[in-house]
Chain A
Amino acid sequence: MINLLSPIQYIFIVAIVLYILDSVWEVGSLFRPGTFSKRLSNYFILTGLSFHCAFLIVVSIRSGTLPITTLFESSTFYLSLIVLLSVILKFLYRLQSLTPFVMPIVTGFSIASVALVRNDLALTYNLKTFWLFAHIIPLFLGYASFTISFIFSIMYLTQERQLKKKSFGPLFESLPSLETLDALMWKTITLGFPLLTIGLVAGTVWAKTSNILGLLWYLDPKVTLGALTWLIYAAILHLRLGASFHGTKVAIVTIAGFVVVILTFIGPFLMGHKHGYEKGSVKFEQEIAPEPPGIAKVKS
């Protein structure tokens, strides 16, 4: 499969290799800080991210739009935002234990995303509209933010388990306090929620005005699941803000929220629903699907 990659895609392979090294180093530095130096892992993650971004930039320049024209591109775009956000949080809060949790997951997804290279679903609409940017950028940033909050809830539950079970190993040492994790979980959710809202509103307006999803746009599985995601995170907000709930419950609901995020992201594709992606050699904005006559009437 690898030899079917285009030269540009090899840039991403380099990023994956660096991410694999980083994952080993990040996890290793938790348990054997003497052998796996933190400086080296910083180097791996930063160069890995640079290659990753370079890949996306080249792709964007070639297509003239966001790197979301294929499922493979969207996945890598989403993954790059996760890495970017965790690197920012790592240095902002001096969090040594975030990336050891993030990087193995990102690495795994990156490798899996390579399998999507040959997937010939491609985006069919005018890809340079304002609405695409207004829809995609907030949504992807929101998803990345929710992913990190999911990681924080995993960390929270791990630390909480260790406190309950009284197992105070190296992992216990390197994880921050429950209160810190709770606060970070909350911060990333409150960052993601407005972004999700903006993305969904923009998408709704776009679907209504351009009819790209057809008349029954609200029955598109991705739209329905998007609404469900919004509801779940609204519920979390309510739990924390309204009922001022903390602790394990919030962590568990956050995990549930993320499961829906992932479902929204790839679920419809797995089920064969397309949400704007078409099979075949449809390429970029030149080939916009002709509007069915019925829709034209509604439009006018």
Chain B
Amino acid sequence: MNLHTVGLNHDSAPVEIREKIAFSASSVPIALSSFTQTFPLSEAVILSTCNRVEIYATSPDNSLNKEALLDFFSAFHGLPKEKFADHMYHHQDMNAVRHLFFVSSSLNSGVLGETQIISQVKEAYTTATAAETTGSMLNQLFQRSLTVAKDVHTKTSIGKGNISVSTVAVDLAIKVFKDFSDKTIFIIGAGEMCELVLKHLVERGANTAIVANRNYDKAKSLAEEYDGKAINYENLDDYLPQADIVISSTASPRPVIHTEHIKSAIKTRRGNPMLLIDIAVPRDIDPKIAKIDNVYLYNIDDLQTVANNNAKDRKKDIGKCVLIIDKEVEKFMAWFEELKIGPAITQLRNHFHEIGEQELERLRPKLGEIAHEEWEHIVYSMQRTLNKILHKPAKVGKEKAKNGGGYQYVETIKHLFGIHHKDETKK
């Protein structure tokens, strides 16, 4: 099959090495064309992300192997092989197929189940098709890898449940509120984490934000970014009754939101629920507030616990993913075998029918004057005979392809009828 992949990832190599081997988006097409110049019959795809750099290549001849691919990396980046060779892994044929399926399904990613890799694989493939360095083999391989990734994500929990604190906060918010379009988000302390949660909420339809920060200018700039309102930090309590969701992450050593604030706020709100998210350490919101009716308070540990549990759940499903992938690898290998069987059977068929035609040509003058209809019968009978003879080998060939061993079968047939040689001279 001669499919090879050589590369490195976050597990096998430190970032210092990865960045030297990585291809920028603009250099990928150049690298691909230089690769196909070196190996003219080959197909190639380069996958280069911040976590991995891999090349997938196949060639009908035996020109490709680990060393050849390492040489390519070395030559392209002008880097001696010794500097990175130890960090590179190499997979061949079925293992290479399996590796790609693992990668695209994000079983090989730093963050298990992340979906970014799917689009990265897709992009690597489109770049290669644009550079015209893919053929029937890699086309099939990459298209299948994307389908497999989709399958793995829909049929297992590998991508389910958020595993970052900011998205978990949003998960909780959607269990309190139906939609965010009529809700007010109150941000206290214009930190990065607050902004991230706000961003996720805005993506889900939130459009009213109030920002309070010790540094008013900082509050203003964040508020402007999200069409919100910046307020004076001292007036914080006055705005609490308006807030449906409060996200707090100030650097204050003492709580900034006290029980009486929330008690009076909830009274004004007449029982309308409030969601309070405290991502500050030390905490900004008095933990006693959690006891107030219709108030839901979560601190950074609560969010982290949910995130960790989700991560654990993802890990539980790895076995399921591997099962799906192994099945798909098998299917791909079967396709590959069939790919070889198909042309072999066509060759065999052409070979037989050629002989038949020759014989008919010899026979025609010998018969003298016969009716056109009778001649048609003879031709038809000849074709039927040949097709009947060919039926079995073709059928067995397809079966062999499915169960493996197609390769030997093709070789045997070619050998048996001497078509291999003849076919090549024809070309």
| A interface with B by C-beta (< 8 Å) | 159, 163-164, 166, 168, 172, 175-180, 183, 243-250
- Report the Cα distance A224→B298, complex, angstroms: 47
Proximity bits, B347-390, A CB within 8 Å = 1, else 0: 00000000000000000000000000000000000000000000
A245: min CB distance to chain B, Å: 5
In-complex Cβ contact of A245 among B175, B271, B309 (8 A) = B271
- A and B contact pairs by CB, cutoff 8 A, 14 listed: A164-B296, A166-B298, A166-B302, A166-B305, A177-B175, A177-B176, A178-B175, A246-B270, A246-B273, A247-B271, A247-B294, A249-B271, A249-B293, A250-B271
Q: A164-B296, A248-B293 are in contact. Are A177 and B271 (CB under 8 A)?
A: no
- Are A177 and B177 within 8 A (Cβ)? yes
List of A residues within 8 angstroms of B176 by Cβ: 163, 177-179
List of B residues within 8 angstroms of A250 by Cβ: 271
Proximity bits, B299-310, A CB within 8 Å = 1, else 0: 000100110010
- Report the Cα distance A244→B271, complex, angstroms: 9
Q: A245-B270, A246-B273, A247-B271 are in contact. Are A177 and B294 (CB under 8 A)?
A: no
Shortest 6 CB-CB distances between A and B: which pairs?
A247-B271, A179-B178, A247-B294, A246-B271, A180-B178, A163-B296
List of B residues within 8 angstroms of A247 by Cβ: 271-273, 293-294
Proximity bits, B240-258, A CB within 8 Å = 1, else 0: 0000000000000000000
B130: min CB distance to chain A, Å: 41
- Are B270 and A244 within 8 A (Cβ)? yes
- Report the Cα distance A166→B176, complex, angstroms: 13
Q: A178-B175, A248-B293, A248-B294 are in contact. Are A168 and B271 (CB under 8 A)?
A: no
Categorize the interface residue count of chain B: 10 to 19
A32: min CB distance to chain B, Å: 12
B196 close to A (CB within 8 Å): no
In-complex Cβ contact of B273 among A168, A172, A178, A243 (8 A) = A178
- Report the Cα distance A248→B271, complex, angstroms: 8
List of B residues within 8 angstroms of A180 by Cβ: 178
Name the residue among B272, B290, B302 with the largest chain A CB count within 10 angstroms.
B272
- Are B270 and A177 within 8 A (Cβ)? no
| A163 nearest in chain B by CB position | B296
- Are A243 and B177 within 8 A (Cβ)? no
List of B residues within 8 angstroms of A246 by Cβ: 270-273, 294
List of B residues within 8 angstroms of A183 by Cβ: 178
- Are B271 and A172 within 8 A (Cβ)? no
- Are A172 and B175 within 8 A (Cβ)? yes
- Report the Cα distance A183→B178, complex, angstroms: 10
- Are B177 and A179 within 8 A (Cβ)? yes
- Are A168 and B306 within 8 A (Cβ)? yes
- Report the Cα distance A243→B309, complex, angstroms: 41
- Report the Cα distance A176→B270, complex, angstroms: 22
- Report the Cα distance A245→B271, complex, angstroms: 6
A162: min CB distance to chain B, Å: 8
- Report the Cα distance A243→B294, complex, angstroms: 16
- Are B174 and A177 within 8 A (Cβ)? yes
Name the residue among A168, A180, A243, A249 with the largest chain B CB count within 10 angstroms.
A168
- Report the Cα distance A158→B75, complex, angstroms: 65
List of A residues within 8 angstroms of B272 by Cβ: 246-247
- Report the Cα distance A180→B306, complex, angstroms: 23
List of B residues within 8 angstroms of A248 by Cβ: 271, 293-294
B176: min CB distance to chain A, Å: 5
| A159 nearest in chain B by CB position | B175
| B160 nearest in chain A by CB position | A173
| B269 nearest in chain A by CB position | A246
B residues 276-298 with Cβ under 8 Å of A? Answer: 290, 293-294, 296, 298
Given contacts A166-B305, A177-B178, 19 further A-B contacts (CB under 8 A): A163-B172, A163-B175, A164-B290, A164-B296, A166-B298, A166-B302, A175-B175, A177-B175, A177-B176, A178-B176, A178-B177, A179-B176, A179-B178, A243-B270, A245-B271, A247-B273, A248-B271, A248-B293, A248-B294
A67: min CB distance to chain B, Å: 38
